[in-house]
Amino acid sequence: MPVVCVYVWKGFSDEAKRKTIEGITKVFTDLGIPKEAVEVIIIEIPKESWGIAGLPASEKLREVLPP
């Protein structure tokens, strides 16, 4: 433990994934948990499949792109 599931928009770059994994793991090693115990699972979701305020993000946040 912990297991961390991260839902992001599709298109998250490999560099962003790497930083996400590294950064989240460090949050827990800073709490005294050994890094081998930390699993991070990144789940990419197309903006058409992500709703905010009742609309798909592909419409509501058309210009915003994942890092």
Binding site for its own copies (CB under 8 A): 1-9, 14, 16-33, 35-36, 38-45, 48-57, 66-67
Q: Nearest approach, Cβ of 47 to its own copies (angstroms)?
A: 9
CA separation for the pair 8, 35 (Å, rounded) = 23
State yes or no: is 2 an active-site residue. Answer: yes
Q: Are strands 3-9 and 55-56 parallel, antiparallel or unpaired?
A: unpaired
Q: Are strands 3-9 and 39-45 parallel, antiparallel or unpaired?
A: parallel
Q: Nearest approach, Cβ of 60 to its own copies (angstroms)?
A: 10
Q: Nearest approach, Cβ of 20 to its own copies (angstroms)?
A: 6
Catalytic residues: 2
